[in-house]
A and B are shown apart, each in its own frame.
Chain A
Amino acid sequence: MPATAPASVRNAPHVGRALRAADVTRAEDGELHLSGAECSDCGTRIFPGAPVCPSCNGERMKPLPLGSSGTLYACSTVHVAPAAWQVPYVIGYVDLPEGVRVFGKIAGTDGVAAGLAPDITVRVHVEEAAVSDANPADASPAAPTYHYWFAPA
């Protein structure tokens, strides 16, 4: 069963930008994972994916399924942000085994109190966005959207 985003993550008009179907993939066990892209020409790996490689401008990009756990590079609890965001919230960079660094929200409202620190292991959660959660600019009824967040493993 996919986890449901905790309140600390669901605290904005949209839980981060809603991802497109191409940005996620469902593994054999039924779990949703993030999916980036890899350049067939130069090997550059990115998330989110793009039709053109930002390193070599090549157009032969192939999907790159990403693992569901990674290493926290750095994080911060944000106390001042634009009005649309409910503070405090926690954000951070997570390094995935595929060589891709992903930025996103982390569950909780106080990273210091939660013991979040560089190099700890965190899990990547992905879920289908309820329509009401999706960024209205991105969502359409016909295409499901997704969002992701991190939590300590």
Chain B
Amino acid sequence: MHANLRPVSVIGTGMIKFGKHRDLTVPALAQPAVRDALREAKLEPKQIEAIYAGTATSGWMPGQRVARDTGMSGVPVVNCENACSSSATAFREAWVAVAAGLYDYVLVFGVEQLTKLGGGTLPLDQDDIEVSNGMVMPALYAMRAQRYLHDYGATERDLAEVAVKARRHGALNPDAQFRTETTVEEVLASRRIADPLTLLQCCPTGDGAAAVVICPTERASAHSDRPVKVLGSHLASGRYIPGFRDMTTPEITQRCSSELYEETGLGAEDIDVLECHDAFTIAELLYYEALGLCPRGEAVRLLRDGTTSLGGRVPVNPSGGLLSKGHPVGASGAAQIVEIVRQLQGRCGSRQVEGAKVGLTHVTGGGTSGFDHGACAIHLFGV
């Protein structure tokens, strides 16, 4: 697959601690992550040949505003909006450009400042028939949860266990928004958001930024002792399915991952560590199945037996995931890549997945009627 493309590697990473940063501007949020990524890649700003920025709600030209303040103005800037997949989409476009030989050194970053929206549920498109009848993102996932529990005999305690795991992992991540552990009882007793989902089963409102620098693999060793290869990149968009569809099958994730596995010759069994789009507890369970970690209906078993916890066969969301690390939507895809790259470099301290050689990032996004989701980007990395 892609015989004409050059191998590409990640040589620099940076991110800020996710949380509520109301007093900062969007460029100020992004700058520290961008500077860290450049420093790690041993690059001066003037060596960056193009910038790909991902954000959903940061207004016009976010990439140029960051470039202006970091010594990189003037180079081509592409701003990507793909809901929660924005910066993963930016990463993919950057990968395409470097792999095709257009540029050698490219910066990708994602940034979002959700606190400026005032908290609560994300604002959706009011022209959408479902949104105008009361749909909000937590309710979409809540209905998937209700149906999954109904179809497969899982319980609300099983859902809560996903949040408990996320917070256990997040407690080990200095960049996570939540760094305290929780219990099933505490999760179930937290405020009702959209039944059966309670507050601690929903990703928090927060701000953040993450950045990576990529280059052709043949140049990577000059910039990093431990460069990480991009083994595959795939982007899919929602397929409109009118009528009855199984809403506990994340169609876009299933399609995107199976196409990526086919392209790369890798499979779920090859993955040592992954970050997935756990915006709500039910999502993580559905994605175990959609990404091929287990057959349909068996996600709870994987969670219960510890397979997906740190120390298990394939730890999922060692960073704490969107539930604990936080989900500043446009920053999340890039932040997942930062985590997986650092995991493969063995830099993750107490949350390190020992001996990890292959890692995956998965992010979806967008609530629009008739779609599973609007966008999905999945990447595979390896050392």
Contact = CB atoms under 8 A, between A and B. Distances in A.
Interface of A: 12, 14, 16-17, 44-46, 48, 54-55, 73-82, 85, 89, 91-93, 95, 99-101, 103-105, 111-112, 117-119, 135
Contacts of B247: 73-74, 93
29 contacts: A16-B132, A16-B134, A54-B370, A55-B240, A55-B242, A73-B147, A73-B244, A73-B247, A74-B146, A74-B147, A74-B247, A75-B146, A76-B143, A76-B196, A77-B195, A79-B195, A80-B121, A80-B138, A80-B193, A92-B143, A95-B244, A100-B243, A101-B243, A103-B129, A111-B195, A117-B146, A118-B150, A118-B151, A135-B132
A17 B129 CA distance: 7
* Top 4 closest pairs, chain A to chain B, by CB: A17-B132, A16-B133, A74-B143, A76-B142
Given A79-B192, A79-B193, A80-B120, A103 B133 contact: yes
B134 A54 contact: no
B28 interface: no
Contact of A100 (B151, B196, B242): B242
A73 to B, nearest CB: 7
A77 B143 contact: no
A105 B133 contact: yes
Contact of B120 (A82, A99, A111): A82
Interface string B165-200: 000000000000000000000000001111111000
Given A74-B247, A80-B121, 16 more contacts: A14-B132, A16-B134, A45-B242, A46-B242, A74-B150, A81-B121, A82-B121, A91-B133, A95-B244, A99-B243, A99-B244, A100-B242, A103-B130, A103-B135, A118-B147, A135-B132
A124 to B, nearest CB: 13
Nearest to B195: A77
Contacts of A105: 133-134
A76 B195 contact: yes
Nearest to A92: B143
Contact of A81 (B136, B240, B243): B136
Contacts of A77: 192, 194-195
B73 interface: no
Interface in B242-258: 242-245, 247
B242 A75 contact: no
B219 to A, nearest CB: 46
Secondary structure call for the A interface = loop
B43 interface: no
B70 interface: no
B135 A91 contact: yes
B369 interface: yes
A82 B197 CA distance: 17
Interface of B: 120-121, 123, 129-130, 132-136, 138-139, 142-144, 146-147, 150-151, 191-197, 240, 242-245, 247, 369-370
B143 A93 contact: yes
Contact of A78 (B123, B134, B243, B244): B134
Contacts of B138: 78, 80
B242 A44 contact: yes
B217 to A, nearest CB: 42
Contacts of B150: 74, 117-119
A86 B191 CA distance: 17
A111 B132 CA distance: 20
A93 B143 CA distance: 9
A81 B242 contact: no
A80 B141 CA distance: 14
Contacts of A89: 134
A31 to B, nearest CB: 21
Contacts of A17: 129, 132-133
B193 A82 contact: no
A76 B139 contact: yes
A14 B126 CA distance: 12
Q: Name, among B120, B139, B369, the residue most crowded by chain A CB atoms within 10 Å (CB to CB).
A: B139
